[in-house]
């Protein structure tokens, strides 16, 4: 990771995952499941977790957006895409609301926590075809 990317990670209030992200913690995760089951797990997690409020769910587009209402305020968009049968990608976009224009890597930390939770619910696929 270059110094510019490191600075960008800590001096921004936004983080999102991507297929070939420079930070391994922010690379798209793939699961052996269907789009519907992955969305249901995310909806259940956010809906039953006392600190999140679900804004919208689009089954058609595979998206769920939520706000965290307790602690640091964050806005999260989770995107679920089934790339082939039982091979589903989950990506997160997290923006931290704060007085300062940066969050010192907090958005990245939230993504890591979300992936940890999903990893306990769904079988993770080690995708050999993903670019490093």
Note if the pTM is more than 0.85: yes
Q: Are 86 and 34 in contact (CB under 8 A)?
A: yes
The pLDDT of residue 4 is: 47
Strand pairing category for 74-84 and 63-68: antiparallel
Backbone dihedral region for residue 65 (phi beyond 0: left; psi -120 to 50: alpha; all else: beta): beta
Q: How far is Cα 95 from Cα 102, in angstroms, rounded to an integer?
A: 10
Domain boundaries, the chain: 3-124
Q: Which fold has domain 3-124?
A: Alpha-D-Glucose-1,6-Bisphosphate; Chain A, domain 4 (3.30.530)
Q: What is the mean pLDDT of each run of 10 residues along the chain (132 residues)?
A: 54 88 91 96 94 95 95 96 94 90 87 95 74 42
The pLDDT of residue 9 is: 60
The pLDDT of residue 99 is: 79
Q: Identify which of 81, 45, 46 has the alpha carbon closest to the alpha carbon of residue 66.
A: 46
């Amino acid at each position: 990771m270059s110094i510019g990317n490191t600075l960008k990670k800590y001096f921004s209030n936004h983080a999102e995952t991507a297929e070939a992200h420079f930070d391994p913690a922010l690379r798209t995760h793939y699961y052996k499941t269907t789009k519907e089951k992955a969305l249901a797990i995310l909806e259940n997690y956010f809906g039953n977790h006392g600190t999140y409020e679900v804004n919208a769910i689009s089954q058609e587009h595979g998206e769920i957006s939520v706000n965290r209402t307790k602690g640091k305020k964050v806005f999260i968009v989770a995107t679920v895409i089934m790339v082939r049968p039982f091979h589903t990608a989950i990506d997160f976009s997290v923006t931290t609301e704060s007085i300062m224009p940066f969050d010192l890597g907090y958005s990245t930390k939230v993504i890591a926590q979300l992936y940890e939770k999903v990893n306990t619910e769904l079988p993770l696929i080690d995708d050999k075809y993903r670019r490093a």
